[in-house]
Amino acid sequence: MNALILRSFLVLLLVTKPFLAWADNQILILGDSLSAAYGLKQHQGWVQLLQDTYESDKKPTILINASISGETTGGALRRLDTLLAEHKPTHVLIELGGNDGLRGFPVTRLQDNLRALISKSREAGAEVAIMKIRIPPNYGPRYTKMFEDSFEQIASETDTYLMPFFVEQVATQPELMQNDNIHPNADAQPILRDFMRKEMANWLSQAKN
Residue 14 pLDDT: 38
- pLDDT by residue for the chain (209 residues), tens only, comes to 444 443 443 333 333 334 334 458 999 999 999 999 999 999 999 999 999 999 999 999 999 999 999 999 999 999 999 999 999 999 999 999 999 999 999 999 999 999 999 999 999 999 999 999 999 988 999 999 999 999 999 999 999 999 999 999 999 999 999 999 999 999 999 999 999 999 999 999 987 66
Strand partners, 163: 131
CATH number belonging to the domain at 20-204, selected among 3.40.50.1110, 3.40.50.970, 3.40.640.10, 1.10.3720.10: 3.40.50.1110
Angle between helices 73-87 and 107-123 (to 10 degrees): 10
Number of residues that this document lists for the chain: 209
Catalytic positions are 33, 180, 183
Provide the sign of the torsion angle of the four alpha carbons 13, 16, 18, 21, taken in this order: negative
The full set of domain ranges for the chain reads 20-204
User: Full-prediction pTM beyond 0.85?
Assistant: yes
Residue 138 pLDDT: 87
Residue 34 pLDDT: 98
- Gap between the Cα atoms of 30 and 6, Å rounded: 45
Strand partners, 64: 28
11 CB-near residues (< 8 Å, 6+ apart)? none
